[in-house]
Chain A
Amino acid sequence: MALGRIQVQAMARRGEVVEARVLIRHAMETGFRREADGRAVPMNVVNTVACRHAGREVFRAELGSGISANPYFAFWFRAEESGEVTVEWVDDAGERGVASARIEVS
């Protein structure tokens, strides 16, 4: 499974808007690169990243080759209940990854 992680603060008040930071390990092959022997490296990028919290999607990104290798995203969400903040992604080869972080809401 593809490597990645999500970071959020450990605690929040209910309704507080908190930041989530996501880092995924991926080459984000553009499809324009060639091997030393001239063979084209096929395009393979993380094309979708989606983050859920408290049963709702809080962020979703559709990506192309214009995002840097090892894609990084910081975005915000409303902390509604204690539980997981889960991010899932998939690349052009169909490889999926998932990472989550726990947040305590008081």
Chain B
Amino acid sequence: MRRRRFLRAVGAVLAAPALPAAAQAFLPRRDLAALVASVTGGATPSREGIALEVPALAENGNSVAFRVRVESPMTESDHVRAIHVLSERNPRERVALFHLGPASGRAEVTTRIRLAVGQRIAVVAALSGGRFRLAEAAVEVTAAACIDEGT
């Protein structure tokens, strides 16, 4: 009896570290279109004049090169106000929100993002006239970024 209780206790201890891994495998795929609509307020974005540069294959999900570029004169009357970066399968769907304006001169932002698993990424640019532009890209992640390990 005592041995059985002991084995059960050991089993519980061994099983505990496996839980975050299970949580990691269960990262539901969000509806990117719905996420985009939540940003645009339902307006249909144009897919012209915007480029999203991410690698098709990333070795390390903890640091994935990211660049977004929007064609715009960036004047007072016609500029990019904001760029939303949205994730399909990260634990948090909003990766970043960049605010730009005429003082920016050029609508281009470069950074490094985290991807918990291979997924699609969407960028939505909000233009000064109330219009939107959208670009999407898929990234495969070989060494899946850990959501339960640092950096």
Interface residues of A (CB under 8 A from B): 17-18, 27, 29-30, 32-34, 38, 41, 53-54, 56-69, 71-78, 80
The answer to whether the Cβ of B63 comes within 8 Å of any Cβ in the partner chain is yes
Are the CB atoms of B96 and A76 closer together than 8 Å?
A: no
The answer to whether the Cβ of B114 comes within 8 Å of any Cβ in the partner chain is yes
Are the CB atoms of B94 and A66 closer together than 8 Å?
A: yes
Among residues of B, the one whose C-beta sits closest to the C-beta of A80 is B103
Are the CB atoms of A74 and B101 closer together than 8 Å?
A: no
Interface residues of B (CB under 8 A from A): 16, 20, 62-64, 85, 87, 90-92, 94-106, 108-115, 147-151
A-B contacts, 28 of them at CB < 8 A, read A29-B150, A30-B150, A32-B91, A33-B147, A33-B150, A41-B150, A53-B103, A56-B101, A59-B99, A59-B100, A62-B96, A64-B94, A65-B90, A65-B91, A65-B92, A66-B90, A66-B115, A67-B114, A68-B64, A68-B112, A69-B150, A69-B151, A71-B111, A74-B111, A75-B109, A76-B104, A76-B105, A76-B108
Residues on B with C-beta less than 8 A from A53 are 103
Report Cα–Cα, A71/B112, bound state, in Å. 7
Are the CB atoms of A68 and B114 closer together than 8 Å?
A: yes
Total number of residue pairs linking A and B with CB closer than 8 Å:
113
Among residues of B, the one whose C-beta sits closest to the C-beta of A17 is B105
Are the CB atoms of A66 and B96 closer together than 8 Å?
A: yes
Among residues of B, the one whose C-beta sits closest to the C-beta of A56 is B103
Known A-B contacts A33-B148, A34-B148; the reply to A59 vs B63 at CB < 8 A is no
Are the CB atoms of B98 and A64 closer together than 8 Å?
A: no
Instruction: Give chain A nearest CB distance to B97 CB in angstroms.
Output: 4
Q: Which of B91, B103, B150 has the most CB of A within 10 A?
A: B103
Are the CB atoms of B150 and A27 closer together than 8 Å?
A: yes
Report Cα–Cα, A103/B108, bound state, in Å. 20
Are the CB atoms of A67 and B96 closer together than 8 Å?
A: yes
Report Cα–Cα, A62/B85, bound state, in Å. 10
